[in-house]
Chains A and B, each alone.
Chain A
């Protein structure tokens, strides 16, 4: 596939929902991809195929269906590992999503490794799922939670990280690879190398990066890496936690139950091998199998092509939006430093009102705090509008957004 606009336009036919009309028979313009993306037929069909032809529980029975479903499920693990350049697929743990992955680490690793007085470092632009689990942990352990602040460009102030690390008390630095509000791409290499020099563990929330750019986990050298399948064409209810084998082996389990055990006796249990030790209970088999198709779909297009396509859209959107008087754009002005996420406010019009008015024109954006209230406080706003792009979006759709925004100006007499 070429990275031309035409090639991207062409793949829209794989996404049935994009043919939909909404409200007053308006073409759907779906710009809420940071929340969740649409699904191609390849993914939808793989899920139906599983239920229609080989639905069965995995890892236990020896019958034909169980063998097929187990193979398809485990095959996804290998596909994920290859996609991220991880050598050992046993380090891939399937979870429900980013939120569960982070909670797993906070619970299972955090409770054994964080003690009174220790420091966990996060950032001001985190999603609530990378703040609340650490609040719970640090409160329970009487440890401290510290933030790396952002500057006026929406970029992390890394000097603060140096200060925290120099205390010798930091146990973990946890941050999002790309902000779901500002789109800022974090300086991963710098952060990881600072932490490695200080012997501190690093968790990367990759919910917004893995779907949109090439990521090589092996090269990054972090300790924990988490993301969600539904933000990258996959079904809801599937996420991935990756961690180094040495860490996972030492970690206590998260959930107890079936599949995660080796032997259970009345008063004690031994744990199963990786990754099953962390996959208690019947997993989300159908959606894990569907997720494999999502990754294959993205790989076929090529992650670098996807990044370029989104960069083009983002540049175009930023240019056009800058022309609208009274529109405030958040985050860095350099498109190369950000992903395809644009947060904005329009004069004093509340984002909810903007969202409702442009929804009449079929444009779906997100209005609200985007599960990032710490960041909202920093920006000194209650909420923002957010348009976020993906592979199937086009410049024409951005024109529809711009026209819809002009309607908002009319309604509010701006």
Chain B
């Protein structure tokens, strides 16, 4: 098993000690999503200040891949501007954990890896459309999210 390209030290470590794990009360954005295949759930909380992600946390039950990807995602986008977050691509996230190969090798597990990114994109879309009444800024983030995997 030592050569296993999925369960690296880093992934195991993140799954044991996820970063930015928890809730934010009255967050500007709260997005809930689930993976119907395995029943994993995730709640993503974000606060926005000056068009930047000022705070981000996630909460939920998931496998090691889901936990590690959610942790890294929150680390990577904290402090970023909404414009940058809108452009944030799945490859950036996957390569950070050496999981790019999942796109090809595991159509099932890729869903675990990208669940939080999907929630992020949907969450920001709803924030613009529902809260800011600014569908122009929301762009087609919803479609992007729906087509992630």
Contacts and interface: CB of A to CB of B under 8 A. Distances in A.
Contacts of A353: 7, 15, 63-65
B40 A360 contact: no
Contacts of B39: 368-369, 373, 376, 382-383
Given A352-B109, A353-B65, A411-B12, A383 B40 contact: yes
Given A350-B64, A357-B1, A382-B61, A411 B7 contact: yes
B38 to A, nearest CB: 4
Contact of B38 (A360, A367, A410, A413): A367
Given A373-B39, A411-B12, A350 B1 contact: no
Given A360-B1, A411-B7, A411-B12, A350 B37 contact: no
Interface residues of A, number: 20
A369 B66 CA distance: 16
Nearest to B60: A382
Contacts of A360: 1, 4
B123 interface: no
B137 interface: no
Contacts of B41: 382
A52 to B, nearest CB: 34
Contacts of A368: 37-39
B6 to A, nearest CB: 6
Contacts of A135: none
Interface string B1-45: 100101100001001000000000000000000000111110000
Contacts of A349: 64
B85 to A, nearest CB: 27
A407 B6 contact: no
Interface in A379-414: 382-383, 407, 410-413
A344 B42 CA distance: 23
Nearest to A354: B63
Interface string A365-377: 0011100010010
A376 B67 CA distance: 20
Contacts of A42: none
Nearest to A412: B12
Contact of A382 (B1, B4, B12, B38): B38
Given A352-B63, A357-B7, A360-B4, A369 B38 contact: yes
B141 interface: no
A351 interface: yes
A356 interface: yes
B1 A352 contact: no
B56 interface: no
Contacts of B66: 350, 352
Q: How large is the interface on B (under 10, 10 to 19, 20 to 34, 35 or more residues)?
A: 20 to 34
Contacts of B64: 349-350, 353, 412
A353 B51 CA distance: 37
| Interface-central residue, A367, A382, A407, A412, by most chain B CB under 10 Å | A382
A373 B61 CA distance: 14
Contacts of A412: 7, 12, 64
B65 A352 contact: yes
Contact of B4 (A352, A367, A411): A411
Contacts of A367: 38
Contacts of A357: 1, 4, 7
A411 B38 contact: no
Contacts of B4: 357, 360, 411
B112 interface: yes
B14 to A, nearest CB: 12
A350 B62 contact: yes
B105 to A, nearest CB: 11
Contacts of B61: 350, 382
A93 to B, nearest CB: 30
B63 A350 contact: yes
Interface string B110-138: 00100000000000000000000000000
A369 B65 CA distance: 18
A410 B106 CA distance: 22
B33 to A, nearest CB: 13
| Interface-central residue, B63, B66, B106, by most chain A CB under 10 Å | B63
B65 A351 contact: no
B112 to A, nearest CB: 6
Sorted nearest first, the 9 A-B pairs with minimum C-beta distance are: A350-B63, A352-B63, A369-B39, A382-B61, A368-B38, A382-B39, A353-B64, A407-B1, A353-B63
Interface of A: 349-353, 356-357, 360, 367-369, 373, 376, 382-383, 407, 410-413
Given A382-B38, A410-B1, A412-B64, 11 more contacts: A350-B66, A352-B65, A352-B66, A369-B39, A373-B39, A382-B40, A382-B41, A382-B61, A382-B62, A383-B39, A411-B4
6 contacts: A350-B62, A353-B15, A357-B4, A382-B41, A382-B61, A411-B12
